[in-house]
């Protein structure tokens, strides 16, 4: 169990940056829903969905490729680092310039007339993210978890601080008369603009620190390394595009698919803002998955040569499902008070019912990440494209057909169904090419019970708030009690000082 405990320890450190840092960032939803209009939230939702798509294009699978070629190909890790970073810098200059020039066209296409500057900022933001990707990956590979965590938290604090200054602080000072309207060119009618500007400045400011901590870098494009890396990374690019389609397609197109006045009193863009704000509540599950991924990806690759690795991967999956199912129930049954706590203005609660299904969708995404190890360590990354392509087709089909009919429900179902389909396909192909002794029957049982308890707790209403709280949270206790009965041997292994 020493390997599992090591993974758990690194996950805790990465979780400090990912969960603590992003939780602080997550709290910005309180600021946005309190100080910005629903239309600004709609713009934030769709523009950041676009950024998510383009971020995959700008990095094109090079993080995973970097891990693979520094751990399993008998190559000089320094040479791989120099080549990978040089390649990303070169491609970023080309892609960033192209997107910058296309900004006026994008503004018109996405219905932001006269706001081309928004998409010029998007081009700069994506460029900053791309040139940080490999240095961050190198910190993970070198087990510099504390440095990685420090850089991530610094970035989050800068972003949050700038958001608070631009959206709350300066308007407050103007209202008090402490500073004049137009102070340093401040535009009182801006909303989403300041979200983008804060993000852009925060990312730019940490580049020198991350590059310094990642180590010496020299520009070098080694052709002997580049050619095989391309063959490995290109399928990952298409996998990433298909995967991000599953996650972001509903938020990108929601405002363009929902009929005007589908929800009385809400424009299409405002309805997109309500949908996006409720989507944010499911981020708590995604934060855990992201923290796990940071630690697990290099860990999985390093264990790939161990003859006992399949059994180890199965144990990781088992622990992951137990923990995340408990988390899904805990969040879902408490949405009656968590929702209003984070979504500050009236009207947002109309989409709250989709949060449990989004939590389940993110849980399935984490399961898919665990399952996907088979094609990464067998170099069969081509399968990743076809699996995620099917998931993307399902996601697109659901959102385009169901959002105009069911609104928020259609958007939530697109996430849930696409990840479910991907998990099923990945599992069957994985068991064919790289069998792993998963306890599949147990997993399905836990997920069904957990999902049922999540919605049961969400809709449970005994009238009195205090009675509701205890009754809803008793469902968590019931599920944990079930786990204690069925998983006592597994749980014992994770208890400190356990003989196992």
Contact 204, 128 (CB under 8 A): yes
**Residues 320, 52, 34: CA angle, nearest 5 degrees:** 90
**3-class secondary structure for 121-180?**
HHHHHHHHHHHHHHHHHHHHHCCCHHHHHHHHHHHHHHHHHHHHHHHHHHHHHHHHCCCC
Q: Which residues contact 126 (CB under 8 A, 6 or more apart)?
A: 51, 54, 55, 58, 95, 96, 99
Q: What is the pTM of this model?
A: 0.81
Q: In the numeric block, which tokens belong to residue 401?
A: 């057909």
Quickly count: other Cβ atoms within 10 Å of residue 473's Cβ. Answer: 15
57-85, pLDDT tens digit by residue?
Answer: 999 888 888 887 877 666 777 888 888 89
The confidence band for 500, taking pLDDT boundaries of 50, 70 and 90, is very low
What band does 6 get if pLDDT is binned at 50, 70 and 90? low
More confident of the two residues 282 and 291:
282
Domain residue spans of the chain: 2-493
Distance CA 101, CA 411 (A): 32
Judged on CB neighbours under 10 Å (0-12, 13-18, 19+), 193 is middle
pLDDT at 15 over 90: no
pLDDT, residue 271, reads 93
The pLDDT tens digits for 468-496 are 999 999 999 999 999 988 887 766 665 65
pLDDT tens readout for residues 162-173: 999 999 998 888
**pLDDT attached to residue 19:** 66
Please report, rounded to a whole number, the percentage of residues in the chain having pLDDT higher than 70. Answer: 91
Task: Please list the alpha-helical segments (H only) found in 1-102.
Answer: 2-15, 21-26, 28-35, 38-59, 62-71, 77-101
């Amino acid at each position: 169990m020493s390997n599992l405990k090591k993974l758990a320890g690194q996950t805790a450190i990465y979780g400090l940056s990912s969960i603590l840092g992003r939780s602080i960032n997550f709290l910005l939803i309180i600021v946005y829903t309190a100080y910005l209009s629903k239309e600004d939230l709609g713009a934030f939702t769709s523009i950041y969905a676009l950024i998510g798509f383009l971020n995959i294009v700008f990095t094109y699978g090079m993080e995973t490729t970097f891990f693979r070629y520094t751990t399993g190909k008998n190559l000089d890790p320094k040479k791989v680092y120099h080549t990978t970073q040089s390649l990303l810098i070169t491609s970023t200059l080309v892609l960033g310039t192209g997107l910058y020039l296309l900004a006026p066209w994008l503004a018109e296409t996405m219905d932001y007339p006269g706001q081309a500057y928004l998409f010029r900022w998007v081009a700069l933001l994506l460029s900053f993210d791309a040139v940080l990707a490999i240095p961050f990956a190198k910190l993970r590979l070198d087990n510099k978890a504390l440095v990685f965590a420090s850089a991530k938290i610094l970035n989050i604090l800068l972003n949050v601080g700038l958001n608070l200054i631009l959206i709350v602080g300066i308007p407050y000072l103007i209202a008090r008369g402490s500073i004049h309207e137009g102070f340093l060119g401040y535009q009182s009618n801006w909303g989403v603009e300041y979200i983008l500007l804060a993000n852009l400045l925060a990312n730019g400011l940490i580049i020198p620190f991350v590059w310094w901590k990642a180590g010496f870098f020299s520009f070098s494009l080694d052709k002997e390394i580049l050619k095989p890396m391309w063959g490995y990374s290109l399928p990952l690019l298409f996998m990433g595009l298909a995967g991000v389609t599953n996650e972001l397609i509903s938020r990108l197109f929601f405002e363009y698919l929902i009929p005007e006045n589908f929800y009385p009193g809400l424009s299409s863009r405002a309805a997109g803002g309500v949908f996006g704000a409720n989507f944010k509540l499911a981020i708590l599950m995604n934060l855990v998955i992201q923290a796990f991924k940071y630690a697990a990806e290099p860990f999985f690759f390093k264990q790939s040569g161990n003859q006992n690795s399949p059994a180890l991967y199965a144990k990781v999956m088992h622990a992951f499902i137990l923990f995340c199912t408990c988390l899904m129930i805990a969040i879902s049954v408490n949405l009656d008070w968590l929702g209003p706590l984070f979504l500050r203005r009236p009207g947002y609660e109309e989409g709250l019912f989709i949060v449990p299904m989004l939590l389940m969708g993110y849980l399935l995404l984490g399961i898919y990440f665990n399952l996907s190890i088979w094609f990464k360590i067998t170099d069969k990354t081509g399968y990743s494209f076809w699996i995620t392509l099917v998931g993307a087709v399902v996601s697109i089909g659901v959102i385009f057909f169901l959002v105009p009919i069911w609104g928020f429900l259609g958007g939530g179902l697109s996430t849930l169904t696409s990840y479910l389909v991907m998990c099923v396909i990945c599992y069957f192909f994985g068991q064919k090419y790289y069998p792993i002794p998963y306890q599949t029957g147990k997993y399905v049982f836990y997920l069904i019970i957990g999902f049922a308890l999540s919605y049961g707790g969400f809709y449970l209403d005994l009238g009195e708030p205090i009675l509701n709280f205890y009754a809803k949270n008793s469902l968590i206790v019931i599920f944990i009690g079930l786990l204690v009965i069925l998983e006592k041997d597994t749980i014992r292994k994770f208890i400190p000082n356990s003989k196992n």
